[in-house]
C-alpha cells in the first residue's frame, strides 16, 4: 500500500508513515504487558521470542541481518524459571520484499526497549533484562541510518514498506495468538 505523504521525505519517514497504525497497535499491546507484573513480563518475553525467531530465520538469508536476539530472550525466559516457547509462527513477507523494512522494524524496536528498560529500573523491578539491554541492536540501528535517511523513492521504498508492514502484522498476529492462549 503506497503512502503518498512520505514522497518528499526520507525512506525512514515513508516507512514510519506507512506503518504507524500497526506500530501503535503493537506498542499499546506490548506496553500493557511490561507495565504489569512478572507474569505479564514473562508473556511479553514469550511473545517477543515467538515472533522474532521466525523473522530471524527469514533474515538469515539476507545480506546483513541484525543481531539475533532470540538467544537473549531465551536467557531471560529461563531466568524467570520458564521454558522458551516451541510453537514458532513462520514469517513470510510478500515476494519481492526488501529486508530493509524488516531490519528497520527490529532495529527500531531497540529504541523502545531502552525506554522499557529505563521504566523497569526507575520502578526498581528486578527482572532479567538481557534482551532489553542489548547494545548490539542499537549499534545495528545506527548502521542502518544511511539507508533510512536517503531521499524517498517509490521505486526502492515500496518493497521495504511491504516488508515492514508484514513484520508488524506478524508481531501483531503473534501477540493476538499468545494472549488468546493465555486467556484460554
Domain ranges of the chain: 4-183
pLDDT tens-place string over residues 19-34: 999 999 999 999 889 8
- How confident is the model at residue 8, as a pLDDT? 58
- How confident is the model at residue 166, as a pLDDT? 98
- How confident is the model at residue 182, as a pLDDT? 80
What residue has cell string 484460554?
184
CATH number for domain 4-183, candidates 3.40.50.2000, 1.20.910.10, 3.40.50.800, 1.10.3720.10: 1.20.910.10
Query: What average pLDDT does the structure give for the chain?
Result: 93
Distances (CA, A) of 30 to 26, 45, 105, 113, 175: 6, 10, 15, 11, 8
pLDDT tens-place string over residues 42-78: 999 999 999 999 999 999 988 889 999 999 999 999 9
This prediction has a pTM of 0.93
Query: What is the DSSP code (8-state) at residue 4?
Result: G
pLDDT at residue 7 is higher than 50: no
Amino acid at each position: 500500500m503506497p503512502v503518498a505523504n512520505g514522497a518528499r521525505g526520507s525512506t525512514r519517514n515513508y516507512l514510519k508513515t506507512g506503518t504507524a497504525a500497526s506500530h501503535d497497535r503493537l506498542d499499546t499491546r506490548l506496553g500493557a504487558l511490561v507495565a504489569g507484573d512478572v507474569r505479564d513480563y514473562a508473556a511479553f518475553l514469550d511473545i517477543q521470542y515467538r515472533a522474532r525467531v521466525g523473522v530471524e530465520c527469514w533474515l538469515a538469508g539476507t545480506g546483513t541481518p541484525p543481531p539475533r536476539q532470540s538467544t537473549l530472550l531465551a536467557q531471560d525466559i529461563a531466568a524467570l524459571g520458564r521454558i522458551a516457547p516451541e510453537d514458532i509462527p513462520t514469517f513470510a513477507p510478500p515476494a519481492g520484499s526488501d529486508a530493509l523494512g524488516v531490519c528497520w522494524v527490529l532495529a527500531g524496536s531497540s529504541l523502545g526497549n531502552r525506554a522499557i528498560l529505563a521504566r523497569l529500573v526507575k520502578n526498581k523491578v528486578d527482572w532479567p533484562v538481557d534482551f532489553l539491554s542489548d547494545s548490539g541492536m542499537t549499534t545495528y540501528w545506527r548502521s542502518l541510518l544511511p539507508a533510512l535517511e536517503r531521499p524517498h523513492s517509490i521505486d526502492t521504498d515500496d518493497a521495504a514498506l511491504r516488508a515492514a508492514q508484514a513484520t508488524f502484522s506478524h508481531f501483531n498476529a503473534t501477540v493476538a495468538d499468545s494472549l488468546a492462549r493465555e486467556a484460554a
